[in-house]
Amino acid sequence: MPTTLHHHRTPFDDWRSIFISVYLTLIGYGVQVAMPVISSAHMELLGFSEVEVGRVAGADLGGLAFGALLTALLMGRADRRGLVVLGTVLVVIANLLCTAYPQYQPTLWLRVVAGIGAGMCTAVAVASLGASSRPARAYNIMLFAFAFFQALEMRILPMLSMNGIYWLFICGFVAGAVGTRWLPARADEPLLDVELDVAARSGRHHLEHRHVSAYIP
């Protein structure tokens, strides 16, 4: 059953939207990439035990997964810019409180909150890349940038104090929130008139017209 499709540009094809989506993806995954450095800092600078470091790391990554899942459920109805701003607020508050309360118990719960905020920003960014008309190209750009970002992060973070790491994440997410004006607030759903060449059992062919979504938002 051959079909005829036409290329359709989406609001997410704007280079500014792709840029801010790639940036938010990198900064959102930053905690996951830098977890070895952050865990070492928790042990050497804050005196956490190996068990405590593992629990804090799990809290951070668990919050990231939960925030991404929650955002995926809300994204169809909520403003994407608002979700990024809300996620940034959670990250900023949690990291600021981490600088004031470096003890294990407060840090454990604050990392959950920070992870949820990071997961919200990351989910919106990844979904926005996928909503472009050429998602493979968008994801390739993200993967290419990720390689350089990972090397840069692993180079810089060991040079910082624990509070310096927290402040770096704060500044990174705030910069991303400022750029959300380039991100489409919602995904429109334009329809394509698709022509289907349908073969009947008798061997005859006839054309049918169907209206389908131009892309998956």
DSSP designation for 132: S
Q: Which domain holds residue 111?
A: 9-182
**Residue-level pLDDT at 217:** 47
Residue 204 lies in a domain: no
Tens digits of residue pLDDT in 114-149: 999 999 999 999 999 988 888 889 899 999 998 888
Average pLDDT over residues 184-196: 62
Whether this model's pTM surpasses 0.95: no
Q: Is residue 153 scored above 90 in pLDDT?
A: no
Task: Please report whether residue 3 resides in a domain.
Answer: no
Is 199 among the domain residues?
A: no
pLDDT given at position 8: 63
pLDDT digits (tens, 9 = 90+) for 72-103: 998 888 899 999 999 999 999 999 999 999 99
Separation of alpha carbons 27 and 1, rounded Å: 44
State the pLDDT at residue 3.
44
Rounded to whole angstroms, the Cα distance separating 138 from 21 reads 9
Residue 201 lies in a domain: no
Counted domains in the chain:
1
Q: Is residue 28 part of a domain?
A: yes
Residue 71 lies in a domain: yes
In the block, tokens 């609001």 appear at 11
When the pLDDT of each residue in the chain is averaged and rounded to a whole number, the result is 84
Percent of the chain with pLDDT over 90: 48
Report how far residue 190's alpha carbon sits from residue 68's, in angstroms, rounded to the nearest whole number: 26
Amino acid letter, 81: R
Token pair 């500044």 in the structure block, residue? 171
Confidence label for 6 from pLDDT (cuts 50, 70 and 90)? very low
| CATH number of the domain enclosing 107 | 1.20.1250.20
Task: Using DSSP bridges, classify how beta strands 205-213 and 3-4 pair: parallel, antiparallel or unpaired.
Answer: unpaired
